[in-house]
Structures are given as C-alpha cells and as structure tokens.
Structure 1
Amino acid sequence: MGNRITIIGGGFAGLTAAITAAEAGAQVVVHEAHHTLGGRARTTVTGQFRTNEGPHALYNGGPHWAWLKQRRLLGPMAAVPPLEGARFRFRHGDALRRIPPLAMLKLLRRAPEQAPVDMDFLGWATGEVGEEGARAAAHYAAVALFHHDPGGLSARFVHERLRRSTKLPPEAHYPRGGWSSVIDRMAAHAWDLGVRVETGSRVAELPEDGPVIVATSLDAARRILDDDSLCWDSGRTALLDLGLRTRRGDAFIVSDLDAPGWVERFTAQDRSLAPRGEQLIQAQVPLAPDEPRAAAIGRAEHLLDLGFPAWRERVTWRREALAAGRTGAVDAPGTTWRDRPAVDRGDGVYLAGDQVAAPGVLSEVSFTSGLEAATLALRWVGVRGLRVA
C-alpha cells in the first residue's frame, strides 16, 4: 500500500491535516476549488482595506495556538486593547452602557460543567440568575455562535463559549494583517514539507487510490460523498464591513445584549487593516431562517448609531454579505459535539471542518478535526512517527 493521502479543501482544517500528514512522511496532495487557500480564513484585499469573512479571532487557550506556535506559524498577533481604554460598550435597554447587567456577571462564575447538556441555555440561566441576566448572556454569547437564538441551544454548549469569550485576560488575539497571514505561513510550511497544492481544482468525486480527507463545508462534503446524513445546524449571519474616517471617541466593540449582534473596530488592535486616517469596522448580526438580510443590516446600523457618532458622514467604503451555513456547528439541547457527523466515514474516508465531531470553539473544531483526520489517514496507510504537538 502506498502512503499517498489526498485532501479536498485547502482551508484551516485541510492545511492542518496536510502538515500533520506530511510531517509524518506521507505523500500529500491538496485540492482547493478556489484560486486562493484559506476557506473561511481568507482575507480579502479591497483597495487598502484587509477584511476577514466576518469577525475573526484566535483564542490562545485552544490547542491550535500551541501547535501553530511550535511550528513558527503563528506570526505577529495583536492582543485585545486594555479594557479600561478600549471603549468596550454594551447595548442594554437600547442604551449604550459601560458594564453588562450584574446578573450576567454573576452567571460567569458558573463552571461550564454546571450547565446541563439536555436543557436550553435560556431556561437554565434564568433559573440561575433571572431572565434579564440570562437573556443578556445569551445575546453576548452570539459572537462565538453566529446564531439568531443562542438561548435555545444547549446550555453546556453556550456556556462554554460564553466563558471563553469573557475570560480575563482575554483569550482572543488577532493575526496582524488578517487571517490570511496565518494561512500563508501554513501553506509555505506545507510546501517545504513536500505537499503538492493544486488550486482551482474542484473535486466532484473521491479518488480511487489511497485515503482521502474531505476538509470542506458540510454541504460540499454531502455532495462529494453523496451522503444525505451529513447535516448539522449552523448559523445564518449578515455581515457589514465599513471603512470610516477616523474620529476620536469611537467604540472598540459594541456588544448587543438586547438581541444577538456585534460590532468591532478591528483597527483598534491592527492599524495595517485600513489606510492612514481611516478605520475598519466589521459587524455581524445573526438572522432567523426566514428573516431578510436587510433587517439584520438595520440592526447593525443601529448599533453603529450608538457607538460611532456621525458614522454615515464618515463612510469611505462599505460591503455587505450573508454567511449561511459557514459559521460552524451549533448544538441543540440534548446534543454535544460527539453527535455531529463523525470524522471517520469508513473505507479510508475522513471528514474535517467546523461542523464535524470534534471538540473546541470556533476554529478549534476545524483544527482538532483536521489533526484527527490526518492521524486516522496515516494509520490507514501504515505510516508511523506521527508528530502531533
């Protein structure tokens, strides 16, 4: 048996799998349908603005941080500005406030293990701290969920993400220059290891030789594998990107506690994302299944009215988008990550991505599943000497 491993998809999960397999001595080829690598971790360059596909951060408490750092793939990172000077604001009672409700802060003392898997978050949190604090916490957690109804999801699932996103000092860090800077380093490392990367290479069916890792969206994997069971709930989110002329006093973050929504000034921590004298604002507002994008954009604009005075007169660039089914898995009451589509599909076929059965928050799911898929594929071809840390 040869030691060739095929990977379909050149995003964060696919590149993680490719590097892991190549480091163990396997021959690896990556097929990426687009002309650039990265998947959801692409950074788009428009004029002098560099934007990720929605707000992106990399948590330093996750397993991917140590893995990337050990391989010198992490690169320069920007930390969250000091909270006392960063103008972190909360919309609560349709007014801008400096601190969230006390009941929400009280809920943060609960360990993730205290939240039940089989109960919805809003019901559990209401019993713990009352409805006001529970709703505020659910809406805040939407930044790590991209979902229109965080309170209706599994209490354990939401509370873990709430705790991670509010941890002090903050876990969230930002790759300087955008997420593509990390992807570019990963791609260069894969190339140095002998990985063959073919961009603009759309794969419609599985190759006949060797194991294959399908590191695509779950929708694409369902088509490639012709497997209708590959389904899991995800979010649907409106994205609004703005270039604004700089003005003193603008907020760093406006978190909507009255409804799910988030606005962030990314140039507060990385000036390279916008031209001199301008700043980059990115907003994400989750949408209900049948809700029009315009409704969410209207809510984002209301948050901008609160946190960015006279923003309409300062706009130099604007872009709107809709992210549907591309925002990671969400777990309903009674389910955990173990209930999602399994990484091992049998007969040498493996899944990787942010909606499969792997633990973690946001990009950590893609990383963990990519690592697991590569480990299983290496076992399939009989390669030993796997380096996993």
Structure 2
Amino acid sequence: MRRRISVIGGGLAGLTAALTAAEAGARVTLYEAHSSLGGRARTADAPYRTNEGPHALYYRGPHWTWLKQHDLLPAMAPLPPLEGSRFRFRRDGRLRKVPPAAMLRLVRRRDAPVDRDFHSWAAGIAGEAGARAAARYSAVAIFHHDPGSLSAAFVLERLRRATALPPEAHYPAGGWGSLVGLMASRAWDMGVRIEVGARVGELPQDGPVVVATSLPAARTLLGDASLTWPSGRTALVDLAVRERRGDAFVVSDLDSPGWLERFTAQDPALAPAGEQLIQGQVPVAPEEGRAAGVARAEELLDLGYPGWRDRTVWRREALAAGRTGAVDPVGSTWRDRPRVDRGGGVYLAGDQVAAPGVLSEVSFASAITAVTLALGERRLGAVA
C-alpha cells in the first residue's frame, strides 16, 4: 500500500514537500487555508503584478538546482546590464553610484564568527563606516532593522550572496506566481490532492504530517509555545508611476536599512505600458509602526525617482510582521532554530526552522528534510 502524508500549507515549502513526497510514491493531500496557493510567493493579478514585497530567486543555491533538475524553473526576466542599470546607494543623504570601498573589503572574507555581532567584527576589518554600510546593505536579504546586532556569520553569508558578481538574484517573468503555477500543475499531474480554502484546526490522523505554515500559525496549530524564533518587520510600499527617463533601477539605503526596486526594468509586463512598477521594503524596529518605514521609503523615492508623487497612478502599503524569515542572533546558527522533527509523526517546514540557506532556500531545504524524515527515505537528502 502507498504511504499517506498530509501537508498543511500551500506556499513554497508546502508545494516542495508535496512534490517530494509524491515523487517518493506517497499519497499526498495538501491543505491550503487561502483560496489560492503560493503563500508569500503569490503574485497579484494584472494590471499591477506585485509580489508580497520585493522577491528574487538566487541561482547559485540548492533551491535553483532542484527546480532546474525537476524542470520547474519558469522563464526568467533578463537582468538589466549592470552598466547603465542605475543601481544606486544612498550614503550620507546623497545618491552614489558605488558603495564605500571599505564595505567591499568585507565581501571578500570567507567566514565570520558565530559568537560575535556583525558590526563589532566588521568594524575591526572595514572601520565603523564600512561596517555600518555593509550591515545596512545586507538588509535586502535579512529584512531586519539592525543587522549589525546579529551573528557575524549569519550576516556575512547573506552579504556575500547579495553582492556576488554576476548577480545571483534572478526574477521569474510575470512574478513569482509563475513559479507557483508550475509547481502546482506538477503536483496535480503527480496525483497530489490539493484542497484550497481548507483551514486545518486539527492534525490529520492517517499518516505523517508536514506543517508548512508560518511559525506563529504552526505554534497555534500544534499548541507548542516553544515554536518561536526572531524575525524582521518591514514596511512594504508598492507604486506604479508614469515612466520617466533616468529613474533608478535599485536604491539601496546605506544610511538606514531599506531597499527600493523598479521591477519593470527587467519585466515591463508587470505594469501597463507607459508605467513603472516600484516595490520597496524598509525594516522597522519593534517600537516603530508602518508610518515610520513608509516615511523612510519616501525619502528614497525622492532621491531615486524625482517627481514620483505627481507621476503616481497606483499605490499600496502594508506592514509585514514575522513574515520575513529567520534571523540568527549572536551565538546561534540555523541548527538552533525550531527543529524539523516535532515527534509523533509531525514535521515542520518553512523559512524559520532548522535548515540552511538564504531566503526561499530555507523553506525548500526544510521541506525536503521533513519529507525525508517522514517517509524514512534517506536518499531524498535530509539536512544533517
């Protein structure tokens, strides 16, 4: 008889778990509380095909390799050439074309200590200004209001990935929904039973269960108060503006963590003809609200997109709390996060659990591990 496995959550982690289990021959049922799959990887319908905050897929990571091996990589929007792409940095209140040289010295480092904060470690190498700039730039892959206070090893890995040349960040054409669509179609073809609009209040009892929800949702479902880990909060600002020659492609804030990106620079189909789609994320501290982050985003808009207020044809704002993945404090690594195996045939997957990687890679790695442990299939490649 084929083994049964249930997956709760239809985001990237849940879809990866469902596909992996089906590939191993299991009978899979996937439950998604919303009316559509994708989780934070959903893409809004036209005319403005926004993601829930700026998204990118890092091509050197294991997630990219797995998607390619399974013929699940969607078409990628071509990256603008680095020369002439108008990649800009705010430093000392002005836009610059290059980051400080001291920051770049840190990128060449191969490793950093786990038990020191990034700022104090980096300042000994690149000076105070270089350490601050590097920490703030790393926010594009961390989403935290104070990256310099986190583990030096954690921040350096993300800094190196985010500054690699050629760039690791790639963008699915049409938004991340195109990737979700491919994964969902493959799951249907493999016989996965998908139930949307199905909010699960109690765990299924007919086999192992992979809980691939946010960590707060898993904590409530499992009644396990230990399921906590630090994350970040960001103010999200989405704009559609009329085209103007000379608008920046990216504005990275080195005075305070923040990031704006003009996504139509590589994929014009994300907005109507003659309009540009800009998405931004600005980390906010625990005591701050959305307004503080939006105000900082508007400062970046003033610098990188002159006249944007008069050109705006659509705007949306949100506060993303606890949805930005795990951050590792000083003295901790991914191995210290909530473990995948919860006992009793229950397994966790998602971006705040004990698995390595950057951004979506954590969801992917934890999903593979969860299914490997659930089915006892060591060949699937569980994370040690």
TM-score, length of structure 2 as denominator length: 0.98
Note closer, same or farther for the CA distance 1:93–1:387 as it changes in structure 2 (3 Å cut).
closer
* Structure 1 residue runs without a partner (length 5+): none
Write out aligned runs for 1:31-50 (5 A). Answer: 31-45=31-45, 47-50=46-49
Residue 68 of structure 2 is matched in structure 1 by: 69
Q: Secondary structure at the residue paired with 1:17?
A: helix
Write out aligned runs for 1:1-389 (5 A). Answer: 3-45=3-45, 47-111=46-110, 113=111, 115-379=112-376, 386=380
CA distance in structure 1 between the aligned counterparts of 2:356 and 2:104, rounded to whole angstroms: 26
Note closer, same or farther for the CA distance 1:384–1:191 as it changes in structure 2 (3 Å cut).
farther
- 1:214–1:351 contact (8 Å) kept in structure 2: yes
Q: CA deviation at 1:384?
A: 8.4
Residue 240 of structure 1 aligns to which amino acid in structure 2? Answer: V
Q: CA deviation at 1:387?
A: 8.6
CA distance in structure 2 between the aligned counterparts of 1:371 and 1:321, rounded to whole angstroms: 31
Q: Secondary structure at the residue paired with 1:170?
A: coil
Percent sequence identity is 70
Note closer, same or farther for the CA distance 1:279–1:117 as it changes in structure 2 (3 Å cut).
same
Q: CA deviation at 1:70?
A: 1.6
- 2:368–2:380 contact (8 Å) kept in structure 1: no
Q: Secondary structure at the residue paired with 1:30?
A: strand
CA distance in structure 2 between the aligned counterparts of 1:42 and 1:34, rounded to whole angstroms: 11
| Regions of 4+ moved over 3 Å | 383-388
Cα shift readout 1:333-355 (whole Å, capped 9, x = no counterpart): 00000000000111111000000
Q: CA deviation at 1:81?
A: 1.5
RMSD over aligned CA atoms reads 1.3
CA distance in structure 1 between the aligned counterparts of 2:224 and 2:179, rounded to whole angstroms: 32
- 2:12–2:180 contact (8 Å) kept in structure 1: yes
Q: Secondary structure at the residue paired with 2:322?
A: strand
CA distance in structure 2 between the aligned counterparts of 1:63 and 1:105, rounded to whole angstroms: 25
Residue 132 of structure 2 aligns to which amino acid in structure 1? Answer: R
Cα shift readout 1:63-119 (whole Å, capped 9, x = no counterpart): 1111111221111012431111100000000000001111001111111x2x11000
Cα shift readout 1:30-78 (whole Å, capped 9, x = no counterpart): 0000000001111112x41100000000000111111111221111012
Greater shift after overlay, 64-73 or 145-154?
A: 64-73
CA distance in structure 2 between the aligned counterparts of 1:384 and 1:65, rounded to whole angstroms: 21
CA distance in structure 2 between the aligned counterparts of 1:301 and 1:332, rounded to whole angstroms: 30
- 2:122–2:131 contact (8 Å) kept in structure 1: yes
TM-score, length of structure 1 as denominator length: 0.96
- 1:79–1:172 contact (8 Å) kept in structure 2: no
Q: CA deviation at 1:2?
A: 5.7
Note closer, same or farther for the CA distance 1:118–1:221 as it changes in structure 2 (3 Å cut).
same
Highest RCO, 1 vs 2 (Cα 8 Å, sep ≥ 6) = 1
- 2:372–2:378 contact (8 Å) kept in structure 1: no
* Structure 2 residue runs without a partner (length 5+): none
Greater shift after overlay, 271-280 or 63-72?
A: 63-72
Note closer, same or farther for the CA distance 1:212–1:309 as it changes in structure 2 (3 Å cut).
same
Q: CA deviation at 1:216?
A: 0.2
Q: CA deviation at 1:264?
A: 0.3
